[in-house]
């Protein structure tokens, strides 16, 4: 009997399955047969979603400020790079005069 390959599932797929399980309008066995998964896998994703759902709402403000800080940091590094290139060019061009 050939060995079954492990499946890799996208975050969107996991979320869709976990949300279906949280709704509880179908049993785990029904969901497992619909999505061709083991019921324990669905239970695991459901538990992860339930445990980490609060983080989605709690970190909303900090994520936007974190993104803004990262963007500003990238812009500053870019500016430092430009100034370094200009300084090196001027040192080379004005070397005899310094």
In tens, the pLDDT along 3-49 reads 666 778 999 999 999 999 999 999 999 999 999 999 999 999 999 99
Q: Which residues, 6 or more positions from 20, have their beta carbon under 8 angstroms from its beta carbon? A: 26, 31
Task: For residue 3, tell me if it sits in a domain.
Answer: no
Note whether 53 and 74 are same-domain residues.
Answer: no
pLDDT mean across residues, the chain: 87
**Are 52 and 32 contacting, i.e. CB atoms less than 8 angstroms apart?**
no
Note whether 14 and 28 are same-domain residues.
Answer: yes
Phi-psi region at 8: left, alpha or beta (left = phi > 0; alpha = psi -120 to 50): beta
Predicted model pTM: 0.55
Task: For residue 53, tell me if it sits in a domain.
Answer: yes
**Are 10 and 21 contacting, i.e. CB atoms less than 8 angstroms apart?**
no
Task: For residue 89, tell me if it sits in a domain.
Answer: yes
Residue 53's pLDDT band (boundaries 50, 70, 90)?
Answer: confident
Instruction: Check residues 73 and 65 and name the one with the higher pLDDT.
Output: 73
Q: Which domain holds residue 90?
A: 60-98
């Amino acid at each position: 009997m050939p060995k079954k390959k492990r499946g890799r599932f996208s975050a969107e797929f996991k979320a869709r399955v976990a949300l279906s399980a949280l709704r509880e309008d179908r049993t785990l066995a029904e969901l497992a047969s619909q999505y061709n998964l083991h019921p324990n896998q669905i239970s695991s994703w459901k538990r992860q979603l339930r445990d980490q759902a609060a983080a989605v709402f709690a970190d909303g403000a900090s994520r936007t400020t974190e993104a803004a800080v990262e963007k500003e940091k990238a812009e500053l590094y870019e500016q430092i790079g430009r100034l370094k290139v200009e300084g090196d060019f001027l040192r080379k061009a004005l070397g005899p005069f310094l």
